[in-house]
Amino acid sequence: MTSMTRREFIAISAASLVTTSAGEKPAEAEAEAAPQLKPWYTTMRRCGQINFNETDPLTMDVNAWMDYWASLKVNAVLLNAGGIVAFYPTHVPYQHRSEFLGSRDLFGEMAAAARARHIRVVARMDCNYAYQEAFEAHPEWFERQRDGSPRTNSECPWLYKTCMFSTYFTEQMPAIYREINQRYAPDGFFTNGWPSTGPLEVCYCPNCLKIYRDQIGSVPPEATDARSAAYRKFYEITMNRIAQIWKLWDEIAKQGNPDSVYVGNLGGAFRTVKDLKRLAEVAAWFNADNQGRWQPDSPLWMCAGQGRVAQSVMNGRTITNVTGAYCTGQPDWRHSSKPAPETTLWMAQTTASGMVPWYHWLGGSPLDTRWRKTGRRFYDWLAAHESHFRNRRSLANLAVLYPQSTIAFYGSHGTHERQLNGTVIDPVDYLQGLYYALLEGRFLFDFVHQENLSPDTLRPYRALLIPNAAYLRDDECEAIRQFVASGGSVLATFETSRYNEWGEPREDFGLRDLFGVSVAGQVIGPANNSYMRIDRMHPVFAGFHDTTILPGPEFRVTVSHLPPDLLYASVVPAYPAFPPEMVYPRIPNTQEPAAVFQQEGASRIVYFPGDVDRTAWRSGDPDLSRLIANSIRWLMAGNTPPVSVLGKGMLELFAWETEPGFALHILNYTNPNMTRAYVRELYPIGPLQVEFTLPAGKRISRLEALRAGRSLPFRQTGSLVQFDVPSVLDYEVLALT
């Protein structure tokens, strides 16, 4: 779009105010029960947001909007209050009041209408930008470029970017919060875009330069570089500042209302740089602003993956995820509705993974209203079955390590990508490849954040899967060893434990004693047309009886050789793939293992020196996905799976113990647009044959398919419940009570 000045923007706006109607329609929201013993947001199940734009005071129909949110039976609604633009008659100096507010108090009107319908109100704030008048009065509040010039918004150059290390965050924003508290006592505050989980940003304002000089000794690198001592210090300073601000704002929120809470903006799905564990320590409520598929080739399950990431650090505390009702993507159309199947599946993933859906639209006078019906249908259904979404614990007995240090720092130098022997590596691809194999294998699994590795955290699980956690702390390696010593099993790939958490190489794998091999050379690759030779049969090679070779990984760590009696799969080095006359192996047999299988007592270990997970994801080769899935089954042999689902289709499964009993969530990803947005049509699957293993001593008397709206027949023998699911269109929840 072409940029315009502030004056030009004002000139094209309407000139008169339109006030709201005097009467209010009868409320359709649920009446609140007796005072809650827990904070209100811990029992919230549905959330909504309307993002005001500056001209909305001219036309905003307060009652119509609140009737819509009441029809969705939301527990809370987020409404623009202030920060970048005040939608109430503020008296805080340099907080810009909407040019079109006139005599209205739009936030106050909306808050009153929400409360009349028994809906909680969270004040949506923006702490990231302020107007030129604030910049001129307080230049110390704002970020600077290296040349000293202020940073402005690329599309709205009249907006200046504020500095987190300035008094804007410790004085100006608190003043705004206190004013809103005094007038409206909201149930919470939420900041758009801050602190995020993304990369750190270096500011060159005088205050930041002093911090760098006094606490770091130099200006930190602009690019993410965990190998730089200056960057590491800056990382710690940044995380400390975020925690300080978060705690301050939460304390101020509670001054106006003891039950109030501050909520930061988080959520990068698999891609995170800021320390999620540290953020979770100050976050009573984790909001993941993961609104849709921003990249056209993103897989559909990125919302469910976001839920798994958030669950790995929140330990059962409140998590919400925003669903953008508008077209997320490239380009994004902020006022056009996303296809209903895509939106519904995003909300379904939110719910299935244990998060609370937060439905979001921008602009108070939409010309496209197709999104409204989509939200109402899903929220009506959620409200009708609310108790079945109050989860007590996951039933998964398989854990996947979320390797944040590797995802954040493996690439370094300002990008999540890494150059490895000239090839660009995306560290998320290791996790994606494992995730895809888990979906194809119909496994139940949870994520465990690497900083949460401990005997208590790992106790519910029989196996831990590690997708190239190249960067691991010493104590994290020790926690994995203790897990194995207690009878747990482990699968690991590629450079796992080769470096510490900052990317400093160890002399050998930190988990060398588990892997049974040592680093013997540099990483080899990219290897086109290399193979893994099956030297001896093993349960992991089930289904491969008609071949003695399997596709090889693109990259591998050179490791020490194994004796013949322990060598099940060996490396066949790459050889020419063209011209055809040259396509034959120069070295058909080696003693270099392509896979290591070990067993001691109840513990089993699978280690792949190659990046089989990433290569599986990048290539789509089914042999590699099957190899990973077979490895997981071997690790779990002798352990009854909590759930087994047979039948055609690509599914993701979640199983929970709930307040009334148990719930199995089945997400149907069987779609040509599974890995390319948007889903525009649904393809039903079924019938599915399900075996659900209950905890010992539990019995059920009823089985309901909540989306289909009917009871299903079942058979229980001891702890095993067997039943058929006739069909799944997009999403089904089987409630066992």
Write the pLDDT tens digit of every residue in 450-501: 999 999 999 999 999 999 999 999 999 999 999 999 999 999 999 999 999 9
Kindly report the three-state secondary structure assignment for every residue of 113-163: HHHHCCCEEEEEECCCEEEHHHHHHCHHHECECCCCCECECCCCCCEEEEC
Higher-confidence residue of 6 and 414: namely 414
Which of the four CATH numbers 1.10.150.650, 3.40.630.30, 3.30.300.30, 3.40.50.880 does domain 398-635 have?
3.40.50.880
- Whether residue 199 is preceded by a cis peptide bond, meaning omega within 30 degrees of 0, is no
What pLDDT score does 414 carry?
A: 57
Flag whether pLDDT at 17 surpasses 50. Answer: no
Flag whether pLDDT at 413 surpasses 80. Answer: no
Torsion, CA 475, CA 477, CA 481, CA 483, rounded to 10: 80
Residue 8: pLDDT band (50, 70, 90) is very low
Residue 88, helix vs strand vs coil = coil
* Contact call for residues 446 and 311 (beta carbons, < 8 A): yes
* Contact call for residues 343 and 323 (beta carbons, < 8 A): yes
Q: Which of 18-27, 312-321, 380-389, 635-644 has the lowest mean pLDDT?
A: 18-27
* Contact call for residues 603 and 487 (beta carbons, < 8 A): yes
503 burial (CB, 10 Å; 0-12 / 13-18 / 19+) is middle
Residue 419: pLDDT band (50, 70, 90) is confident
What pLDDT score does 331 carry?
A: 87
Torsion, CA 708, CA 710, CA 716, CA 720, rounded to 10: 20
Q: What mean pLDDT comes out for the span 316-320?
A: 96
CATH 3.20.20.80 fits 6-126+165-197+220-384, yes or no: yes
Write the pLDDT tens digit of every residue in 170-191: 999 999 999 999 999 999 999 9
Distant-in-sequence, close-in-space partners of 727: CB < 8 Å, separation ≥ 6: 684, 685, 686, 687, 708
Write the pLDDT tens digit of every residue in 55-83: 999 999 999 999 999 999 999 999 999 99
Flag whether pLDDT at 16 surpasses 50. Answer: no
229 burial (CB, 10 Å; 0-12 / 13-18 / 19+) is middle
Domain ranges of the chain: 6-126+165-197+220-384, 398-635, 643-736
What pLDDT score does 18 carry?
A: 35
- Give the pair of three-digit tokens for residue 340: 């209903």
Summary mean pLDDT of the chain: 93
Write the pLDDT tens digit of every residue in 610-619: 999 999 999 9
Q: What is the H or E stretch that residue 735 is in?
A: strand 731-736
Of 66, 196, 52, the C-alpha closest to 128 is 196
Flag whether pLDDT at 35 surpasses 60. Answer: no
* Contact call for residues 669 and 344 (beta carbons, < 8 A): no
Q: What is the H or E stretch that residue 376 is in?
A: helix 370-384
Residue 415: pLDDT band (50, 70, 90) is low
Residue 267: pLDDT band (50, 70, 90) is confident
Residue 329: pLDDT band (50, 70, 90) is confident
* Contact call for residues 97 and 81 (beta carbons, < 8 A): no
Distance CA 657, CA 649 (A): 25
Kindly report the three-state secondary structure assignment for every residue of 328-365: CCCCCEEEEECCHHHHHHHHHHHHHCCCEEEEEEECCC
What pLDDT score does 58 carry?
A: 97
Residue 1: pLDDT band (50, 70, 90) is very low
Strands lying side by side in the sheet with 391-394: 391-394, 651-658, 662-668, 731-736, 703-705, 710-711
Look-up: residue for tokens 């006022």? Answer: 335
Helices and strands (DSSP H and E) totals, the chain? 19, 35
Flag whether pLDDT at 199 surpasses 90. Answer: yes
Report the chain's C-alpha Rg in angstroms: 27
The strand pairing partners of 124, in sequence order, are 80, 190
Write the pLDDT tens digit of every residue in 90-103: 999 999 999 999 99
Spell out the CATH class of 643-736: mainly beta
User: Percent of the chain scored above 90 by pLDDT?
Assistant: 90
Write the pLDDT tens digit of every residue in 541-577: 999 999 999 999 999 999 999 999 999 999 999 999 9
- Give the pair of three-digit tokens for residue 527: 């290897």
Higher-confidence residue of 425 and 171: namely 171
Write the pLDDT tens digit of every residue in 205-238: 999 999 999 999 999 999 899 989 999 999 999 9
Write the pLDDT tens digit of every residue in 620-644: 999 999 999 999 999 999 999 999 9
Look-up: residue for tokens 């929220």? Answer: 379
Q: What is the H or E stretch that residue 235 is in?
A: helix 229-256
Label residues 613-650 b or e (16+ Cβ within 10 Å = b).
Answer: bbbbbbeeeebbbbbbbbbbebbbeeeebbbbbebebb
Higher-confidence residue of 413 and 299: namely 299
Q: What is the pTM of this model?
A: 0.93
The CB-side HSE value for 656 (13 A sphere, CA atoms) comes to 23
Kindly report the three-state secondary structure assignment for every residue of 286-337: EEECCCCCCCCCCCCCHHHHHHHHHHHHHCCCEEEEEEECEECCCCCEEEEE
Distance CA 303, CA 350 (A): 6
User: Percent of the chain scored above 70 by pLDDT?
Assistant: 94
Residue 416: pLDDT band (50, 70, 90) is low
Distant-in-sequence, close-in-space partners of 290: CB < 8 Å, separation ≥ 6: 267, 268, 269, 302, 303, 306, 321, 322
Residue 22: pLDDT band (50, 70, 90) is very low
Distance CA 174, CA 188 (A): 14
Q: What mean pLDDT comes out for the span 535-546?
A: 96
Write the pLDDT tens digit of every residue in 98-123: 999 999 999 999 999 999 999 999 99
Flag whether pLDDT at 12 surpasses 80. Answer: no
Q: What mean pLDDT comes out for the span 13-17?
A: 35
